[in-house]
Amino acid sequence: MFHYITDDCIACDACRRECPLDAIRPGPKKYAINEAMCVDCGSCADVCPTLAIVNRARSEAEIELGWSSAAALDRIKIRA
């Protein structure tokens, strides 16, 4: 699976600069990750100031189980 960028993106460019494969490009309102190029290393998510970059596999499972809000809060607590 790969990471993707949510609507919380503020287009700060931190993720694009951090990506070792240059798989992130600016879009009209937020940045986007090229799924074919992403190797799921997570370096983009590590530098995102708004936690807008998430792992698609994990987020889909959280949504199915109704854990989205709790998981987001946990991520914020871990980074604090």
The tens digit of pLDDT for each residue in 8-50 reads 999 999 999 999 999 999 999 999 999 889 888 999 999 999 9
- Token digits of residue 76: 């914020």
Q: What is the pLDDT of residue 11?
A: 96
Q: What is the pLDDT of residue 65?
A: 60
Q: What is the pLDDT of residue 13?
A: 97
Round to whole Å and give the CA distance between 55 and 57.
6
Q: Is the pLDDT of residue 52 over 90?
A: yes
Strands 3-5 and 53-55: antiparallel
User: Which residues in 1-80 belong to E strands, given as ranges?
Assistant: 3-5, 24-26, 31-33, 53-55
> What is the fold of 3-79?
Alpha-Beta Plaits (3.30.70)
The alpha carbons of the chain give a radius of gyration, in whole angstroms, of 12
Nearest to 6 by CA among 79, 58, 41: 58
Q: pTM of the predicted model, to two decimals?
A: 0.68
Cβ neighbours of 19 (radius 10 Å): 22
Q: Is the pLDDT of residue 59 over 50?
A: yes
